[in-house]
Structure 1
Amino acid sequence: MVMTTRTAPSPRLRPGLGLRLIPIGDSRWRLVDAAGLIIGHVDTVTEARGTRYRALHYHPGSRSFRELGAFWSLDDAVDCLRYAR
């Protein structure tokens, strides 16, 4: 019997952005800047139509995350967070 683990695809970041994407679960990543400050999270949401990727931006003033949207592409969710900072 062969067991397989289902994991979400790893997102790609273009070199030179000074950002890192750190896996923090099977289907969640933390986006941090070069200093290690949290920009936000991306997590997967399974819907009847397929998998969506939700971008959650960290708001330091309220010390909470604010949803920016759900995307069909993991790369689009990462880009949304990148531009929100």
Structure 2
Amino acid sequence: MHNTGQAAVVPEIPIAAPQIRGRETLVRAGAALWRVTTREGRVIGHLRRLEHPLGMRFRAERLHLATNRFIEVGEFWSADEAVASLRA
């Protein structure tokens, strides 16, 4: 991951879901937040779009079933990379 030393921020206006090429589906959960679900409808995590000084970033957050919390996996330059990180 590249760290520029500046915090990313969430946009205030709801934006359209990014296009992803994988087998998962994005379901809106907030202005710039989507649930990442499998074909069977199981939630595997969140995809969060962030404004960054160098462009848009996508944060992957994996659902940890034992604690029922989301754990940050990382920030990526593409939605596909972020969603792919949730498959592992």
For the superposition of Structure 1 and Structure 2, which TM-score range results when normalised by the shorter chain? Answer: 0.7 to 0.9
Q: Per residue, is there more helix in 1 or in 2?
A: 1
Q: Percent identity?
A: 33
Q: Distance in 2 between matches of 1:22 and 1:9?
A: 8
Q: Runs of 4 or more off by more than 4 Å in structure 1?
A: none
- Residues 14, 30 of structure 2: 8 Å contact kept: no
Greater C-alpha radius of gyration = 1
Q: Give the distance between the partners of 2:18 and 2:50, measured in 1 at CA.
A: 15
Question: Is residue 36 from structure 1 mapped to residue 36 from structure 2 by the alignment?
Answer: no
What are the ranges of 5 or more consecutive residues in structure 1 without an aligned counterpart? none
Relative to the length of structure 2, the TM-score reads 0.72
Scaled by the length of structure 1, what TM-score is found?
0.74
RMSD: 2.0
- Structure 2 unaligned runs (5+)? 1-12
In the comparison of the two structures, how many residue pairs are matched? 76
Q: Which has the higher contact order (CA 8 A, sep 6+)?
A: 2
